[in-house]
Amino acid sequence: MSIPTAKSDRFDVRAVVAAVQRAVGTPNGTLALHEPVFAGNELAYLDECIKSTFVSSVGKFVDRFEDMLAEYTGAKRAIAVVNGTAALHTCFRLAGVEPGNEVISPALTFIATTNAIAYCGATPHFIDSSLKTLGMDAQALGTRLDAIAQRKPEGTINRETGRRIAAIVPMHTFGHPVDMDEISAIARQWEIPLVEDAAESLGSTYKGRAVGSRAQFAALSFNGNKIVTTGGGGAILTNDEELGRRAKHITTTAKLPHKWAFVHDEIGFNYRLPNLNAALGCAQLEQLDGFLKNKRRLADAYDRAFANIPGVQFAREPEGTSSNYWLNAILLDEAHASLRDEALTELNAAGFGARPAWTLMHRLPMFSESPRGDLSVSESIERRLINLPSSASIQARDD
């Protein structure tokens, strides 16, 4: 895929800072990249939870939190766990990922996606991203599988490595949904399970439906910097009742129900979300619609502020989707990519907690030998992307 050239030879780092100031004003101190908002029933629910003495993985708030997630997303089951990485790890286990397998993943992702693959003893296989979505590129996925994949009785095999390709894991970068229809069609064509990494995208929709609501397996995160937080937490979404039951079982140390006996029928994980964290999550979910409204208003303010700035563009949600705009992002034109760090320095000096994209996974030493396709778009995004302050509490300017 070709990388767009600069729209203009004129580019001024100071104009980037001025645009952010037009959108959100001049901060008093530092405006964080993304911080939680506690403006509802958090204290009341935490107090109730503490007084109940049920503060670990059993209690009414865990059950309520799971029910609220299932209702909000439209998934049949939601299983609350300790973090998004644990949710992904469990999804991969349920999908049948085993030691010696490969899992196809974007190179542009947070390391949790790739670590969860490694926890299974599998190898990540990196695919390029799309400039439209910032997530896995369906065309790149199809091209790569056509080049290296072969159907055999034991599954889809990478002809170059001899390893079974056990799963495909698209991730909705910064809350922007990827092209799930095309990626799902490719997964079905090759009979490869799909695990949806929706860690950043609670509240985002794809063609009118919540992300994660159509996949056999999807993972959410409620880390302290997410749109809804439980302090640390995650969840597994599934539309398969039996898989939901099994997910809850293996994340509860695979313990068989009994009044007093400790019998475990397989290797499980101590991954269940504590009731204390779930109490916080219930209060946060009650406010999610308000968070989304504020964040979309902020995204619109950034979009207007950068509309006429040469050499830079604001990353809008893909057509046919609604993003939660978890993190707002701008992309410098390729010709100005060398000025990204200067722009980051100036933004942070002005009190804006801006940051670059993650280091691409294949550049990290533990994954440097992993198989990969052409990653030219991911490498371009990495060079020139800047995330801007995105908290739901930020009061965007209307002018």
Where are the strands (E) in 194-291, listed by range? 195-197, 205-206, 209-210, 217-221, 234-238
Contact indicator for 66, 80 with CB cutoff of 8 Å: yes
Of 196, 194, 201, 195, the C-alpha closest to 173 is: 201
How many Å separate Cα 172 from the centre of its chain? Answer: 5
Q: Map out the domains of the chain with their CATH numbers.
A: 13-36+288-388 (3.90.1150.10), 42-285 (3.40.640.10)
Which residues in the chain land under pLDDT 70?
1-10, 399
pLDDT at residue 7, as a whole number: 42
pLDDT at residue 399, as a whole number: 60
Q: Which SS3 state, helix, strand or coil, does residue 193 take?
A: coil
Of 131, 215, 214, the C-alpha closest to 173 is: 131
pLDDT at residue 9, as a whole number: 56
pLDDT at residue 215, as a whole number: 82
pLDDT digits over 325-357, tens only? 999 999 999 999 999 999 999 999 999 999 999
Of 245, 346, 247, 338, the C-alpha closest to 21 is: 346
pLDDT at residue 8, as a whole number: 44
Of 73, 79, 72, the C-alpha closest to 286 is: 72
CA distances in angstroms from 231 to 198, 223, 224, 283, 325, listed in the order given:
18, 6, 5, 12, 20
Q: In 148-160, which positions are buried (b, 16+ CB within 10 angstroms) versus exposed (e)?
A: bbeeeeebbbbee
By DSSP bridging, strand 328-332 and strand 149-152 are unpaired
Report the alpha-carbon distance of residue 120 to residue 88 in Å, rounded: 10
- The amino acid present at 254, given as its one-letter code, is A
pLDDT at residue 5, as a whole number: 39
CA dihedral (198, 199, 201, 206) in degrees, to 10, reads 0
Contact indicator for 356, 325 with CB cutoff of 8 Å: no
pLDDT digits over 95-139, tens only? 999 999 999 999 999 999 999 999 999 999 999 999 999 999 999
Report the alpha-carbon distance of residue 259 to residue 225 in Å, rounded: 39
Of 13, 87, 385, the C-alpha closest to 236 is: 87
Per-residue 3-state assignment (H helix, E strand, C coil) for 271-295 = CECCHHHHHHHHHHHCCHHHHHHHH
Enclosing H/E stretch for 81: strand 77-81
- Give the CA diameter of the chain: 73
